[in-house]
Structure 1
């Protein structure tokens, strides 16, 4: 069974007004080992706790949690909850909370994390950086080799839009109703290195494409390769980056299970000599846009025919597609039940709308904090790390 893990980007908010708080530079030192030099601002390297890592993101209004490699849904869910709880504890020390929202319902000025790279990005990309505040769920799945990783990316690209719909959690953007279930997808795809990719066919072609993109001068470096799925630079994994951060930790763990099953299914296809589906990249963009717009409320593009079909049918078809792998790993019933739960209860985007009707955007954030922390291990990080 392949190991897998997840990164979650979380917003830092005022629990009463719902407005953003630029606290990441105050929170991170409390999440690091005692005595660690925190002079300057940069990613954390290794907190004391064995189950969670944390790092800065582009803006000080967000923080990223990272699990360690896991073998099953239960362990991953536990680590996700632990990371949320520790991050929230660090925020509470400074009067804030964390919320698993993929975009901010409240409009506010944001603050660039004071790193030279981010400053250079702002000078280079202007308004795209100034407006950028999105939170995603990035799932890492182990691959045996970079060659296998590229083969996997070629064979999962036609199915990733379904994950956008299943994770949709961003209907509001800077004080406005967007008309989208996952507006994060729209905002994120303003980056030049983002979105679905071609079929590479081999590792040398993948490397050549990445090199050409960087040599074009449009991207600053390889770190700005923001493909929907990419080879991780620091880990032997394929990183799938299409999902919104999920309001419920259970949804994040479920989507991670589906990603791992997709990776394993694709690797088997490659080993069996099954070619990738020759879907034009433009059709993949159409599928992603539709998923971003409608979520699970309407129709998606079926990943087999790329014609409209009821969203519930497409999501169930994805589970059916990876069912052999899920069954082998004892996760089929869990996946089916999890998908039916989301279809019945709604995605994070759908869950945000009820508190909006009752309490406006501040009510959305207040309720989001509560749902984010359901099942989380709470407590101040100092006590959790050093007690």
Structure 2
């Protein structure tokens, strides 16, 4: 069975004011002091962010348990330094991000200016194991039309700099300011994929291969496909749902490739529109159907995704878990809806952050 790993980026916030705090270096130093061999927590572009990565898991229950454990450990480490962690894809409150001290990050800040300075956004990246480079690229080609649905399910960034953006997943709109971000054309082979990335690096616009910020890509570090469209999810259960769907998408795509099937040949222009619609609406209004690229109710599009993945979900024993989680999201809403309901109830973005801190820790 394919293994799955998750990287989550968390926001470091003041437990009283809810404002982001640039304490990632201190938290990482504290983690290293506690456990010199720890390989879970990592530095990110901004001092107000903390990233963790799970180990590869073959069972979703084990993956979920590790996500919960990592979130609780992050909360403990941060709490001992006077801050808290929140699984928020953007800060609801105004913030002036602080670039981490790092030669690479400083280069990015100078190269991209305001576009880099405003990238205080937190995502959830899912790594799914593959057997070869060719398989990875074949999978990436076949994932393209379905990725917007993952964005809609995970949407958890309605607020930006103290304002309601009108979007469910505004993080993706901010992330899209990077020159290499977003959906890709069909590659057709590993050789063509790597040639395209090399051409991008040769322009000098991006620093290296790691800055090919595609929505999905073969990992340069691991034998995986990395799916990068999801907001960090408010609740750990939603992160597990995204991971289960990602694995099923990779398995379904691989089977289609091995059977000689052809990927859907949607243009990048249409894929960008599908991504925009998912970011704007989340699960509350229409999405673009991944096959026809025409509007359909979000619930119908999500059910089409489940039908597309049916065999893979059954064989991985994830079908019941996924169907239950989907039903809950369609009934109660994703993180974006939950944040807005909290704002309606409390009238305070500070209270929204405080409640999200509790949800991050599973309370």
TM-score, reference length from structure 1: 0.92
Hey, what does 1:169 align to over in structure 2?
156
Hey, what does 1:385 align to over in structure 2?
none
Hey, what does 2:251 align to over in structure 1?
264
Matches of 2:347 and 2:43, distance apart in 1? 31
Hey, what does 1:75 align to over in structure 2?
62
Following superposition, the deviation at residue 340 of structure 1 comes to 0.5
Deviation per residue, 1:222-265 (Å, 9 max, x gap) = 11110000111110000000000000000000110000000000
Aligned ranges for residues 135-284 of structure 1 at < 5 Å? 135-284=122-271
Matches of 2:251 and 2:31, distance apart in 1? 34
Matches of 1:168 and 1:35, distance apart in 2? 34
Hey, what does 1:364 align to over in structure 2?
352
Matches of 1:33 and 1:250, distance apart in 2? 30
Following superposition, the deviation at residue 32 of structure 1 comes to 2.1
Aligned mate of 2:111, from 99, 116, 124: 124
Hey, what does 1:378 align to over in structure 2?
none
Hey, what does 2:275 align to over in structure 1?
288
Q: Which runs of 4+ in 1 moved over 6 A?
A: none
Q: Which moved more, 1:23-32 or 1:167-176?
A: 23-32
Matches of 2:91 and 2:200, distance apart in 1? 31
Following superposition, the deviation at residue 34 of structure 1 comes to 5.3
Matches of 2:353 and 2:133, distance apart in 1? 41
Matches of 1:151 and 1:211, distance apart in 2? 19
Aligned ranges for residues 54-73 of structure 1 at < 5 Å? 54-73=41-60
Q: Which moved more, 1:134-143 or 1:105-114?
A: 105-114
Computed over aligned residues only, the root mean square deviation of the Cα atoms, in angstroms, reads 1.1
Deviation per residue, 1:205-236 (Å, 9 max, x gap) = 00000000000111111111100001111100
Q: Which moved more, 1:351-360 or 1:115-124?
A: 351-360
Secondary structure in structure 2 of the residue aligned to 1:21: coil
Aligned mate of 2:288, from 301, 304, 312: 301
1:344 aligns with 2:331: yes
Secondary structure in structure 1 of the residue aligned to 2:32: coil
Unpaired runs of at least 5, structure 1: 37-45, 376-387
Aligned mate of 2:92, from 105, 115, 132: 105
Matches of 1:84 and 1:320, distance apart in 2? 32
Matches of 1:160 and 1:283, distance apart in 2? 13
Matches of 1:152 and 1:130, distance apart in 2? 33
Matches of 2:64 and 2:35, distance apart in 1? 30
Hey, what does 1:42 align to over in structure 2?
none
Hey, what does 1:26 align to over in structure 2?
26
Matches of 2:35 and 2:222, distance apart in 1? 27
Hey, what does 2:17 align to over in structure 1?
17
Following superposition, the deviation at residue 35 of structure 1 comes to 7.9
Deviation per residue, 1:123-170 (Å, 9 max, x gap) = 110001111100000000000001100000001111100001000000
TM-score, reference length from structure 2: 0.98
Matches of 2:182 and 2:6, distance apart in 1? 19
Aligned mate of 2:362, from 374, 383, 386: 374
Deviation per residue, 1:12-71 (Å, 9 max, x gap) = 0011111011110110022226584xxxxxxxxx50xxxx71101000000001000001
Matched pairs, number: 362
Unpaired runs of at least 5, structure 2: none
